[in-house]
A = this chain, B = another copy of it.
Amino acid sequence: MAEKSKKPQKFRARLPRGLEDRSPAAIAATRQMVEKIREVYERYGFEPVETPAMEYTDALGKFLPDQDRPNEGVFSFQDDDEQWISLRYDLTAPLARYVAENFDALPKPYRSYRFGYVFRNEKPGPGRFRQFMQFDADTVGSASPAADAEMCMMAADTMEALGIPRGSYVVKVNNRKVLDGVMEALKITEPKQKLSVLRALDKLDKFEWPEVQKLLGAGRRDESGDFTVGANLNPLQIEQIGAMIKAWESTKLRPSNAFRPDLFDGVIEGDAPESLKLGLSELGSINDLVYSSGYGQDRICIDLSVVRGLEYYTGPVYEVELTLETKDEKGRPVRFGSVGGGGRYDGLVSRFRGEPVPATGFSIGVSRLQAALTMLGKLDTRADFGPVVVTVFDRDRVADYQKMVAQLRNANIRAELYLGNPKNMGNQLKYADRRNSPCVIIQGSDEKARGEIQIKDLIDGAKAAAAIASNQEWRETRPAQFSCAEGDIVAKVREVLARHDVKWN
């Protein structure tokens, strides 16, 4: 921020931490993305619905993971009737409220999509904002694994619609029931220990098994010397988890369709708990459905390391990962990781209805995915050409110049009058350069007397300038500038735009 002025300033202009202003290129990129996602979701039969940015705090529930601040991650204020209202922290809790409130009026199963900003009252950090955009789809009223399978296929199709080639993304699917069942089979009941086990499993895509083994046991010291306390499982428990992971990993031999619900038969001791059997059976259905619709393991695969933080999931959970690597400005490799995910949340609508209402949903982190697509060069972020600038040569004739602008605009050409101080033509040309204008219009008294205007082609002009050595040569040749009759302004400007392939409406 420039602080040149020496006068006292009453207020400092500053954005609160963790928020961002958005440039024309970023706005255009979001529009492109949103349109492409919308197209896929519409094709899947989903219909739009929009809820406001705020809800009663108790309707949102307390489902955010890992909160280390007292207000638990949400922005809240008290209404004048003493009720607490919060800004939405995701698009799922408001949808649950919407469906519950309008239950009888909606077709069921109810497929819907929506996008918008969500707000997290968290410590901001690099790439971590307090306002960001999500694009969600949900199916409420179907307990069928086919609804979950559909979400995964839609996620895969969306990635490809956004220009991410097959093989550069993967939709990973797991099931909370499987995780719960494993805990039950191994008699892990203490909530803190459960959480440590989940956190260790979550590392399976980062670490080799021996490292994960340490996290399941006493703990692990990393290269920097930091120690992570482990889950303190006993050797037998760790061995059984190892055997399960081995059984699962053997199914990942691509491109076969090798996932089977009997995966752990003979691997764990004794009878498998019901939730484990059910969870594996659901994963088997999802696997069969997506496979028969042409989605192989290179696009959607069962992955027992997927945990997902949100508390409200009750069944299948899924996560979309970009498997591409790129380099950051300093040449270091960057892996993008998760750009979206979701799962089944059968309890979220039910808590309003007092009756079971199955639901499953998927959320794309638009802001996060946009950052990835931008780094990968998948979004067109070239600046558009600016407007044609009609300059003010003679300040008494602003109305004439304004009329030229109106003529151009009426012909659907982006155009504007120079509105700054017109005393200096050099400043006007600098302004036009800064706006990336394709050409400027000039009319002095000589041209006016002849009924003519001058058109200066700034694109050709810039090329010529690069080739011309001296100011004198420039003045003598006046490259890329020509005159024409006043009445030809639209036709001649169109010629310039066409020559440089400038879009106009």
A residues touching B (Cβ–Cβ < 8 Å)?
Answer: 1-2, 5, 7-17, 19-24, 26-28, 39, 42-45, 47-56, 58-59, 69, 71, 75-77, 79-80, 83, 85, 96-98, 100-104, 107-109, 111, 117, 119, 131, 139, 141-142, 144, 146-147, 149-150, 153, 157, 288-289, 292-294, 351-355, 386-387, 389, 398-400, 402-403, 405-406, 409, 412-417, 419-420, 431, 434-435, 505
What are 29 A-B contacts defined by CB distance under 8 Å?
A5-B353, A11-B352, A13-B59, A13-B100, A14-B56, A15-B51, A15-B101, A16-B55, A16-B56, A21-B52, A21-B101, A22-B49, A27-B48, A39-B505, A43-B415, A44-B409, A44-B415, A45-B389, A53-B53, A76-B77, A107-B431, A111-B416, A139-B419, A149-B402, A150-B402, A153-B406, A292-B399, A293-B403, A293-B406
Chain B nearest CB, measured from A480 CB (Å): 21
Chain B nearest CB, measured from A164 CB (Å): 18
- List, in ascending order, chain B residues with CB within 8 A of A27's CB: 48-50
Task: Let me know if B49 and A10 touch, CB within 8 A.
Answer: no
Q: Pick the residue among B71, B131, B416 that contacts A53 (CB under 8 A).
A: B131
Task: Let me know if A43 and B414 touch, CB within 8 A.
Answer: yes
5 A-B pairs with least C-beta separation: A45-B387, A45-B416, A13-B100, A142-B419, A7-B354
- List, in ascending order, chain B residues with CB within 8 A of A419's CB: 109, 111, 139, 141-142, 144, 146-147, 150
Number of this chain's copies in the complex: 2
Task: Let me know if A11 and B351 touch, CB within 8 A.
Answer: yes
Task: Let me know if A48 and B24 touch, CB within 8 A.
Answer: yes
Task: Let me know if B420 and A43 touch, CB within 8 A.
Answer: no
Chain B nearest CB, measured from A467 CB (Å): 26
Chain B nearest CB, measured from A134 CB (Å): 14
A15 touching B294 in the complex, CB below 8 Å, given contacts A149-B402, A289-B398: no
Task: Let me know if A131 and B77 touch, CB within 8 A.
Answer: no
- List, in ascending order, chain B residues with CB within 8 A of A97's CB: 13-15
- List, in ascending order, chain B residues with CB within 8 A of A75's CB: 54, 77, 85
Chain B nearest CB, measured from A222 CB (Å): 30
Q: Pick the residue among B69, B96, B100, B103 that contacts A80 (CB under 8 A).
A: B69
A294 touching B406 in the complex, CB below 8 Å, given contacts A11-B58, A52-B20: yes
- List, in ascending order, chain B residues with CB within 8 A of A7's CB: 354-355
Chain B nearest CB, measured from A369 CB (Å): 18
Residue ID in chain B nearest A13 by CB atoms:
B100
Task: Let me know if B109 and A420 touch, CB within 8 A.
Answer: yes
Task: Let me know if B435 and A292 touch, CB within 8 A.
Answer: no
Chain B nearest CB, measured from A155 CB (Å): 14
Task: Let me know if B289 and A52 touch, CB within 8 A.
Answer: no
With a 10 A CB-CB cut-off, give which of A2, A11, A17, A400 has the most chain B CB atoms: A11
Task: Let me know if A44 and B352 touch, CB within 8 A.
Answer: no
- List, in ascending order, chain B residues with CB within 8 A of A139's CB: 419
Task: Let me know if B15 and A409 touch, CB within 8 A.
Answer: no
Task: Let me know if B293 and A131 touch, CB within 8 A.
Answer: no
Task: Let me know if B146 and A417 touch, CB within 8 A.
Answer: yes
- List, in ascending order, chain B residues with CB within 8 A of A59's CB: 11, 13-14
Task: Let me know if A435 and B107 touch, CB within 8 A.
Answer: yes
- List, in ascending order, chain B residues with CB within 8 A of A13's CB: 59, 96-98, 100-101, 352-353
Task: Let me know if B49 and A21 touch, CB within 8 A.
Answer: yes
Residue ID in chain B nearest A12 by CB atoms:
B352
Task: Let me know if A10 and B354 touch, CB within 8 A.
Answer: yes
- List, in ascending order, chain B residues with CB within 8 A of A9's CB: 352-354
